[in-house]
Structures are given as C-alpha cells and as structure tokens.
Amino acid sequence: MDRSEKDRVKIFDTTLRDGEQSPGISLNKQEKLEIAHQLARLGADIIEAGFPITSPGDFEAVQAIAREVHGPVICGLARTGKQDIDAAWNAVKDSERPRIHTFIATSDIHIERKLQTTREDVMGQARAAVAHARQYTEDVEFSPEDGSRSDVEFMAEVIQIAIDEGATTINVPDTVGYTMPDEYAEMWARLYELIPDLAKVITSVHCHNDLGLAVANSFSGVTAGARQVECAINGIGERAGNASLEEIVMLLHTRESSVGVWTSVNTREIARTSRLVSRLTGYPVQPNKAIVGRNAFAHEAGIHQDGVLKERTTYEIMDATTIGLETNSIVLGKHSGRHALRKALEELGFAVDGAALNSAFKRFKELADKKKKVTALDLEAIVSDEMKQAPAAFEIESFEVEASNVRAPLAKVTVRMPDGTVGSGSFTGDGPVDAFFSAINAATGHDARLKEFHVSAVTGGRDALGEVTVLLELDGQLGSGTGVSTDILEASGKAYLRALSNVLSDDAVAEAERLLEQETRTAPAP
C-alpha cells in the first residue's frame, strides 16, 4: 500500500506527564529515563517528558531525557507564565528536537471559576506565551484547555492568535472526557471552517476516558483531519486516564486499508512497553484490556477454540506476534554466564553494564538456582525490579512469618531505613500478609494503610516469579510499589516498602511544589 506523509498520524506519548499524574504513581529519574528509551524504541514521534516547573525532580528528569533519548521530539509542558515557559525550555533545550507545549483554558467555566479572569485576558496570555516560546524554538504546541466544552467561536479566536504567533501544532483536548465522537468531529469541522490557517499546522487530539470514549473520540478527531494523537501506554492518566496508545495504534494499524492513515510505531514493541510501564508505575493491566491484557488473545469457549485451531483468523483480528507477544524466545539456564545475560538484556532493549550488570547477574543467578529456565519475561521482571531500588528508600533486612490455622499469624521484620539505621517490628494479623505489613509499619514508625494488593505470576509454572503490586495511603497521600520474587512474601515486603518510600518522596515533592506555586495559580494540564 502506498503511504503518503500527509496521511501519517504522529503519536504523541504523554505517559511520563499526564500518565504520571495518576494517583499513586511516583517515578524517579532513572525509571522515567528507562520508559523514555523504550518509547523511542517503540517509535513514538513525540515524548511529553514532563511538566518541568512543577518540581526540581520533574525538571531534572525531563532534562535527562532531553539529553539522553534520541529520535523522538522531546516536549515539556508549560502554562502561559514566563517562568513556566523558561523552565520548559531549559529542561528540553539539549534535545536534538525540542518542543514547548503551552496551554490555557478557553471554556467559560474554567475562565470564570478556575482562572477567575476574562476572555480578553486569556487571549492576551495565549499571545504572550506562544510568542515567548517561539523565541526559544520553532516547534511550539498550543492547547486550549477544556476545548470540547468551549464556545467554538471564541476558541477559534484564541487558536488563530496562537497560529499568528507561530504555533506549529494545535491540540484541542477533551480535557474532562465529556464529548462524544460525533460532537468532537463536528467541533473539528467547525474549527476548520473558522480557521483556514489550521490547514497550515499539525492538528492534534488529546482525549480523556471519563465516559470510556477516549479512543473513540481520538479516532473521530483523526477522521476529521487531525494528524497527531496524544495518548499514554496502558491508557494511564488523570482520573479515568487517557486514550490508550496501544489501542489507537492497533486500530489504525489493523484497519489501515479502511481508514487510510498510518503510524510509524513499531508495533512489536507494544507488549514490552506495556509491561515495563505497568511494573514501574505499579499499575497492573486488567486481564480483559484490549491489545495488552492477558486475555486479549485467549479463547475459553469451545466453539472459539475449535475455530482458532482450524484457522486463527476465524476469531482473531490481530496476530499476537504483531505486538511482540513471542518474547519467550530468549531462554537462559543456571550455567549461562555474564556475557550471555548482557546479550539477552541488550536484545530486550536494556543497556546494562558495570555495577548494574553485576546486580542483575546476581539476581539472575539466584533465580536460575530456583528455575530450570529463565525466560525473557523473567529477565524483564528482575531488571525492572532492580530499577525500583532507590538510594534513599526502605529495604528489608530480614523477615520471619509464622502462620497456621490454629493461631493468629505472627510476623517479625527488620528494615534498613533511608538514613542507614535499622528498625525492627513484630505484629500479628488476620493473615500472614496483614501481619507482615503491620510489622513493617512498626519497624518504620509509619502507620500506612493498605488500599490495594495484587499478586500475579510473571510466567507459568510452580517456579514462576511472583509480582506483587501494592497501593497504600499515608496521611492522605497515595503511593504504589511493586516487588518481584519467587517468594510471594518477599515480593510483598518489597512492594510495600517501595510504596511507602514513594509516598514519603511525594511529600517532599509536594512541599517543593507548594513553595514554587505560592506566587502563581495552579492549573491541571490539558
């Protein structure tokens, strides 16, 4: 099929910006870098690496991504204030292809209730912001926040101002997930009528999933002429999340002959990217999730199984290998050496050397002693688990759990604190995991409350690695963590302590944000 560049849909990934705003997610700089490198391997056209003004940590992560990740455009988000735009530029300026993305609300409810200003002021702020951003770079994106609930004529005026000042991408978001596909398409049709200059820039969609329509609305925008889709891996993001990257990409890929547009995404990297983001964020993928859920290519009904055995396409509209689900082609054993491990990790996209390779090799040998075969999925799990080890974090020194059906389980634990000291605690509970977590609270001196607890197997078999995801609450703050081990209790303890570390880290970030924001208005991103 002949492909025209005008029919290519650019994939703007916002996993590291909007996705990280999901409750309980707290990624450190190294984790963000690893995800960004994988997004580059995936073939994302633009990576929105963060919101640099919000905290020193976010600024440093965006700056590191701009310096170390090659290929995609690296984008920083900014409100219309000069400080925001300066921070975004300073964070992304070392990228081969930097972009500043600035936004301001155009809906009356946001203008009157949130910004507490006027339409005239919004137009002035939009003009000044884009003009200031253009002093730094030719690649400037502008978004009228809450576009789908804005008066379309007024929004068109603001967009025209942004184009006049040099914006090269115009993104009109459905910020609160309110619109429907036909309404969104009609909005775009009207904007093209009101703003002939839209034909001279890239138009973009950014849709939230509050009513479950994020992908449908994004697709509607594409059919109306948009050639950039803003989305996130596994659909993570504010509230109910964003349009799912894997779903919009595979929709356009599978139905390319019908819709006439295409993306340059390497679909074989989709499954691996999904797993990496899930492990590092602590957000598990639901089993029936389209494209990447574990049931996405599973068949239970006899009629379906019979049909697939005779001819796969009777019930499967996609080939599982298209999204990279044949990752168990790499198999190592207990006699495999350091060189074999490094080569296998390189095939998986992990550049590991020096101390990091030594640490991964130690984990690999420990696992190989317990399993006959170590697969690619096992390697992904232990490497991403090692990445969760932050320097200033709680770590398990030792634990002992006594459980039976005749007395309450008793857990004893010692924990190394971030300052290097060791705390100990013991507790009984309703079950061994409850007792274990209560003992950790006693050892650390923090009374965290468990909100969610998930256990899954990385691979099949009795010797499989167990992956535990924990969401906890401490003083009103949510934090998530994951842990991987062949021992479920050990994995649970790792996950709980990482979640606790993330909550306390978030408290420090929140204080920095408070100090930074006391002179400016806060505003959610589009």
- Alpha-carbon distance of 333 to 325, in angstroms, equals 21
- At 468, which helix (H) or strand (E)? strand 466-474
Per-residue pLDDT of the chain in tens (526 residues, 90 and over written 9): 578 999 999 999 999 999 998 887 878 898 899 999 999 999 999 999 999 999 999 999 999 999 999 999 999 999 999 999 999 999 999 999 999 999 999 999 999 999 999 999 999 999 999 999 999 999 999 999 999 999 999 999 999 999 999 999 999 999 999 999 999 999 999 999 999 999 999 999 999 999 999 999 999 999 999 999 999 999 999 999 999 999 999 999 999 999 999 999 999 999 999 999 998 888 889 989 999 998 887 645 454 445 545 565 666 677 778 888 755 456 788 778 888 888 888 877 777 788 878 888 888 888 888 877 788 778 888 877 776 665 558 999 999 999 888 889 999 999 999 989 999 999 999 999 999 999 999 999 999 999 999 898 887 777 788 889 899 999 988 888 889 998 999 999 999 999 998 888 755 455 444 444 544 444 455 6
Domain 7-281 identical in fold to domain 395-513: no
Residue 341 class from Cβ within 10 Å (0-12 exposed, 13-18 middle, 19+ buried)? buried
Classify domain 395-513 by CATH number. Answer: 3.30.160.270
DSSP sequence for 13-60: E-TTTTGGGSTT----HHHHHHHHHHHHHHT-SEEEEE-GGG-HHHHH
Of the CATH numbers 2.60.40.10, 3.30.230.10, 3.40.640.10, 3.20.20.70, which one belongs to the domain with range 7-281? 3.20.20.70
Tell me how many helices (H) and strands (E) the chain has. Answer: 17, 16
Residues in the chain: 526
Beta strands (DSSP E) in 154-293 are 169-174, 202-207, 228-231
**DSSP label of 315:** T
Nearest to 345 by CA among 389, 309, 387, 303: 387
Cβ–Cβ under 8 Å, residues 84 and 78: yes
Element (H, E) at 161: helix 152-164
Domain boundaries, the chain: 7-281, 299-323, 327-385, 395-513
| 3-class state of residue 231 by DSSP | strand
Whether the CB-CB separation of 321 and 268 falls below 8 Å is answered with yes
Q: How many CA atoms lie within 13 A of 161 on its CB side?
A: 24
Residue 124, classed as helix, strand or coil, is: helix
> Could you tell me how far CA 191 lies from the centroid of its own chain?
31
What is the pTM assigned to this prediction? 0.82
59: phi then psi, degrees, rounded to nearest 5: -60, -50
